[in-house]
């Protein structure tokens, strides 16, 4: 067992406990070899992150190794773009597979040989039924299936037909190779499943070498065995496939028989985890792409400003379970806030600016004030911010007719400007046509520099601001939940897209940000004081900055959790 687990004597989840027990008993010769086996038919999402953290995490914690293996058995849906994106996501999350990058296509010749072995053992046959006929013959959950009329073909005929399938003599769907198991099995996956099908589609790695491809279940079990995987960790939807996994390995002359263990997949509210549905959103233009910051994809979350350690921490917090459940997205946001609060530099930005003129402040006599970069990390130091006669504040921080207990700015009221002075509003200017307030006129108290009054008077409201002299104009994109329904994937008769949130993106132009953000690097995350956490979007260009709201400051989950404690 790893020194980490020995020393800490920590409570292990059921998978880690199993690995620890296997090591203690000497099983697998004291080795731990896991694998993360994505299909390269889409971009990875937060659900895959859980599997990545588990497989690479278990290997790391028990001094083992983890392979990255692409189960690339369906060339009609797989692209190199997806392969590249998966490798990038795994690395960004903080994991490294070293020189252990494999592909099921690496083993196509071996897998084909195993199929021949099954035929020779009388455990596989070539079937001419159409896909619809195979489904009809399969039976139901309460009734057994019906054997194919081609089930009892001779060994010689099956070998000949299978070789002809490989040579390309038949059309797609004209023939398949099926395992011969039990058409009356209570497990539908064991009712003579298809293990090879014809696809006259070039493969992104093998080109036109093959026109027959192994089915996922067949290739997955054999790839695990070929690589010598010790612990094949799968999500719960593969639990019913485990008997087939074992049957394949038990009926072939393999040198390794990994043990499959299932765990609950990650389900999260207000989103969907189906790659098929995510692809639909992309292809229909309902989102801007796989990296749309509203998407649960790793690349989308990265663009939104998520930190890899926040996702890893989230996966640690939710743990590994045997039963399906739905995780509140606010827990993910809570983990993100915890990390950003410690790391993100504080800045001031005004999203919906209103002009403020400080009448008694000297003309053309701006000054520099000192601001703290991060109160959670004093080693982050301070920065200089410009103060001037004309500044901008948030439009919501002024009220012409303030309600009771309103502690921000109104005519005759006084507020504290963050890091600066007390100001009092004395008058307003409105647009002649619209009646909208366009300018505030205020006075300041020079004795209150730094935000404290020498005469001891109290001011309850503190607001943020930026100087008009050297502020940065920027576009800010405010993101919200992609769906309005808590579990859109549950929709049976309704189109899940009918629950898309038409308010999930708000674009605000001509926001005013402090000058320190003028050359902020793409991907950098900041806390805009009082507003939330924002990151620099890849669309940013010199002189045309774009920021995405990563997450708001409000932490409902954290507050509820603290109350429960």
Give the catalytic positions in this structure. Answer: 39, 265, 275
Task: Quote the Cα angle for 22-27-29, to 5°.
Answer: 125
Tokens 């999930």 correspond to: 504
Closest CA to 55 of 227, 233, 229: 233
Tell the burial category of 454 from Cβ atoms under 10 Å away from its Cβ (0-12, 13-18, 19+).
exposed
Q: 10 Å Cβ neighbour count for 545? A: 22
Task: Quote the Cα angle for 201-206-210, to 5°.
Answer: 55
CB 354 within 8 A of CB 440: yes
CB 73 within 8 A of CB 329: no
Residues in the chain: 565
Q: 10 Å Cβ neighbour count for 297? A: 27
Q: 10 Å Cβ neighbour count for 172? A: 12
What are the φ/ψ torsions at residue 237 (nearest 5 degrees)?
A: -65, -15
Please give the C-alpha separations between residue 192 and each of 60, 123, 215, 263, 402, in angstroms, as whole numbers: 39, 9, 13, 26, 74
Closest CA to 516 of 395, 380, 416: 380
Tokens 């509820």 correspond to: 560
The string of DSSP codes covering 373-406 is S-TT-GGG-EEEEEE-SEEEEEGGGB-SSPPTT-
CB 225 within 8 A of CB 249: yes
CB 243 within 8 A of CB 190: yes
| H helices present in 229-274, as ranges | 242-250
Query: How many Å separate Cα 490 from the centre of its chain?
Result: 20
Closest CA to 79 of 279, 216, 238, 253: 279
What three-state secondary structure class fits 514? coil
3-state SS track over 87-128? HHHHHHCCCCCCCCEEEHHHHHHHHHHHHHHHHHCCCEEEEC
Q: Which two tokens stand for residue 482?
A: 């992609």
CB 224 within 8 A of CB 258: yes
| H helices present in 432-515, as ranges | none
Task: Quote the Cα angle for 522-528-531, to 5°.
Answer: 125
R_g of the chain, CA atoms, integer Å: 31
Q: Give the list of residues 6+ apart from residue 356 with CB closer than 8 angstroms, or none.
A: 390, 391, 392, 393, 423, 439, 440, 441, 442, 465
Tell the burial category of 358 from Cβ atoms under 10 Å away from its Cβ (0-12, 13-18, 19+).
buried
Distance (Å, rounded) from C-alpha 478 to C-alpha 244?
Answer: 48
């Amino acid at each position: 067992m790893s020194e980490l687990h020995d020393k800490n004597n920590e409570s292990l989840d059921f998978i880690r406990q199993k690995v620890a027990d296997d090591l203690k008993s000497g099983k697998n010769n004291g080795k731990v070899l896991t694998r993360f086996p994505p299909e390269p038919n889409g971009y990875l999402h937060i659900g895959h992150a859980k599997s990545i953290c588990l497989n690479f995490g278990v290997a790391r914690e028990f001094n083992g190794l983890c392979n990255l293996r692409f189960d690339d058995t369906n060339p009609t849906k797989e692209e190199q773009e997806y392969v590249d994106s998966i490798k990038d996501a795994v690395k960004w999350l903080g994991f490294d597979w070293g020189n252990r990058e494999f592909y099921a296509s690496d083993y196509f010749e071996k897998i084909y040989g195993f199929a021949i072995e099954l035929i020779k053992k009388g455990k596989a046959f070539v079937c001419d039924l159409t896909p619809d006929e195979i489904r009809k013959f399969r039976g139901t959950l309460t009734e057994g299936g019906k054997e194919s009329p081609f089930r009892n073909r001779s060994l010689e005929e099956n070998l000949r037909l299978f070789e002809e399938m490989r040579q390309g003599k038949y059309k797609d769907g004209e023939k398949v190779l099926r395992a011969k198991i039990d058409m009356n099995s209570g497990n539908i996956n064991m009712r003579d499943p298809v293990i090879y099908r014809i696809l006259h589609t070039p493969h992104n790695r093998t080109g036109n070498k093959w026109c027959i491809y192994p089915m996922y279940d067949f290739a997955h079990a054999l790839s695990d065995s070929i690589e010598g995987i010790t612990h094949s960790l799968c999500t719960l939807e593969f639990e019913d496939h485990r008997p087939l996994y074992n049957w394949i390995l038990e009926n072939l002359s393999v040198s390794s028989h990994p043990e499959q263990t299932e765990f609950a997949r990650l389900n999260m509210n207000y989103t969907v985890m189906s790659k098929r549905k995510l692809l639909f959103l992309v292809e229909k233009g309902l989102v801007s792409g796989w990296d749309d910051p509203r998407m649960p994809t790793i690349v989308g979350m990265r663009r939104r400003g998520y930190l890899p350690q926040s996702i890893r921490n989230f996966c640690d917090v939710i743990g590994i379970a045997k039963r399906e459940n739905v995780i509140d997205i606010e827990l993910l946001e809570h983990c993100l806030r915890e990390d950003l609060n410690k790391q993100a530099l504080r800045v001031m930005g005004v999203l919906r600016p209103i002009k403020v003129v400080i009448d008694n402040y000297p003309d053309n006599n701006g000054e520099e004030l000192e601001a703290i970069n991060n109160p959670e990390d004093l080693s982050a130091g301070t920065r200089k911010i410009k103060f001037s006669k004309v500044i901008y504040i948030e439009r919501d921080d002024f009220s012409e007719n303030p309600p009771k207990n309103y502690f921000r700015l109104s005519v005759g009221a006084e507020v504290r400007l963050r890091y600066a002075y007390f100001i009092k509003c004395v008058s307003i200017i409105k647009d002649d046509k619209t009646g909208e307030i366009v300018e505030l006129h205020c006075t300041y108290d020079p004795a209150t520099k730094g935000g404290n009054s020498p005469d001891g008077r109290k001011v309850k409201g503190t607001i943020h601001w930026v100087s008009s002299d050297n502020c940065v104009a920027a576009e800010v994109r405010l993101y919200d939940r992609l769906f309005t329904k808590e579990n859109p994937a549950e929709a049976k008769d309704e189109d899940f897209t009918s629950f898309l949130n038409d308010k999930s993106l708000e674009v605000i132009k001509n926001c005013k940000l402090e000058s320190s953000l003028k050359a902020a690097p793409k991907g950098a995350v900041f806390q805009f004081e009082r507003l939330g956490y924002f990151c620099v979007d890849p669309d940013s260009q010199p002189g045309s900055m774009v920021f995405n709201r990563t997450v708001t400051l409000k932490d409902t989950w954290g507050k509820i959790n603290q109350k429960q404690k």
